[in-house]
Amino acid sequence: MRRTPRAHGHRTVAVVTTALALTAALHQPASAEPATLPEVRAELDRLYHDAEVATEKYNAVDGEVTRQKKRVSTLKAQVMSTEKKLTRLTELAGVAARTQYRGGGVPAEVQFVLADNFERALDNASLARQAHRGTNRVMTALAKTQEELRTRSDDADDELKRLRKNRRSMGSHRTTIQARIDEAQKMESRLAEKQRRELAALERETADEAQAKWVESGVLDTAGTEGSSAGSKAVAFATRELGKPYVWGAEGPDSYDCSGLTSQAWLAAGVAIPRTSQDQWRLLHRVPVADMRPGDLIIYNADATHVSLYIGDGRMIHAPRPGRSVTVAPAGSLEILGVVRPDA
């Protein structure tokens, strides 16, 4: 998650050699080479943010593929159903035509039943002709519907192919970013033990500073302390998932990404919500941050690429990033965009 640490000139650490090696795996050509731990931390945060952007885009396209597959399946089923109806009507129309031809226009069984009532027989013949014309109209309409459904089914197939191609492209981009992050984590692990401790301390300090500033603003003075029945169930679900690893695109039960965790937590509470953090921000009911309550979702970053589940007392549960696990963290430690309430 991207954070902007304060200048720590007094904490410049002798990690230039390691940082330069880390840069080979991390930085874009136009980026300045990180020479201090704060700069290394900022570079790692930038990469993790890029990874979340790629993940959310992939998840969105993947969701579209799933929905489109269902649409294609439904259309194909409708085509088959229409074809069966059309075939059956064609068979019935043929039987009726042959029967009328043999009986002079009126089915033999009808003539037998109505032989003692000539007027009724004539009425029945008129009804038979009307039924025949009606059958033809239905067959014409069904044939037209069949053609329209086939066209829609073909178009849906084309759209599904386009979405799958887009998903492959997104997956390739995501794989590239994952490779860079893997290398970054390897480089980070090669830091001296003291440097790793200092890097972790720097991350905690940055988070604590952001949380303290957030709390001091008074935002928690009016925040709710109890969630709705569904919200409490969502919090209980997320609490049970603590310690499970972050995995891109995962929705449980063994691992999660950020929006995979929040969507599954609310699904466990009986409320289906959008899969990605960006759609959660776009489609769910927004509430003021000062009015949030346990169970609400906190959306982070200007591009809504991270989400957590607020659990009260200024804390949240989230799946942070690759290499980390589902954890409890200060809710204001990241850049808050806003809050949404799934069961508003």
pLDDT over 60 (residue 107):
no
pLDDT over 80 (residue 330):
yes
pLDDT over 90 (residue 118):
no
256 strand-pairing partners: 246, 251
Mean per-residue pLDDT, 203-232: 91
Of the pLDDT bands very low, low, confident and very high (cuts 50, 70, 90), residue 66 is confident
Which residue would you say has higher pLDDT here, 164 or 225? 225
Mean per-residue pLDDT, 218-227: 91
| Tokens encoding 197 | 């401790």
Mean per-residue pLDDT, 114-118: 45
End-to-end CA distance of the chain: 28
pLDDT, tens digit, for every residue of 145-201? Answer: 767 777 777 777 777 777 777 777 766 777 776 777 776 677 667 777 777 787 778
What integer pLDDT is reported at residue 322 of this predicted model?
Answer: 80
Q: How far is residue 87 from each of residues 82, 92, 124, 284, measured CA to CA in Å?
A: 9, 9, 26, 47
CATH class of 193-341: alpha beta
pLDDT over 90 (residue 9):
no
pLDDT, tens digit, for every residue of 30-61? Answer: 445 556 767 777 777 777 777 777 777 777 77
Pick from 89-98, 199-208, 236-245 the range whose average pLDDT is largest: 236-245
Of the pLDDT bands very low, low, confident and very high (cuts 50, 70, 90), residue 141 is low
Q: Which residues are catalytic?
A: 258, 306, 318
pLDDT over 70 (residue 22):
no
| Tokens encoding 323 | 């290499």
- Burial of residue 121, with CB atoms counted within 10 A of its CB: 0-12 exposed, 13-18 middle, 19 or more buried: middle
pTM of the predicted model, to two decimals?
0.59
Residues ≥6 apart with Cβ < 8 Å to 86:
139, 142, 143, 146
Cα–Cα distance between 38 and 19 in angstroms, integer?
A: 11
What integer pLDDT is reported at residue 64 of this predicted model?
Answer: 74
Sign of CA dihedral 25, 26, 27, 29: positive
Say what angle helices 37-102 and 118-189 make with each other, to 10 degrees.
Answer: 160
Three-state secondary structure readout of the chain: CCCCCCCCHHHCCCCHHHHHHHHHHHCCCCCCCCCCHHHHHHHHHHHHHHHHHHHHHHHHHHHHHHHHHHHHHHHHHHHHHHHHHHHHHHHHHHHHHHHHHHCCCCCHHHHHHCCCCHHHHHHHHHHHHHHHHHHHHHHHHHHHHHHHHHHHHHHHHHHHHHHHHHHHHHHHHHHHHHHHHHHHHHHHHCCCHHHHHHHHHHHHHHHHHHHHHHHHCCCCCCCCCCCCHHHHHHHHHHHHCCCCEECCCCECCCCECHHHHHHHHHHHCCCCCCCCHHHHHHHCEEECHHHCCCCCEEEECCCCCEEEEEEECCEEEECCCCCCECEEEECCCCCEEEEEECCC
Cis peptide before 253 (omega within 30 of 0): yes
What integer pLDDT is reported at residue 65 of this predicted model?
Answer: 72
Q: In what order do the strands lie in the sheet with 306-312?
A: 285-287, 336-341, 297-300, 306-312, 315-318, 327-330
pLDDT, tens digit, for every residue of 244-301? Answer: 999 888 899 999 999 999 999 999 999 999 999 999 999 999 999 999 999 999 999 9
% of the chain beyond a pLDDT of 90: 34
Q: Are strands 285-287 and 327-330 parallel, antiparallel or unpaired?
A: unpaired
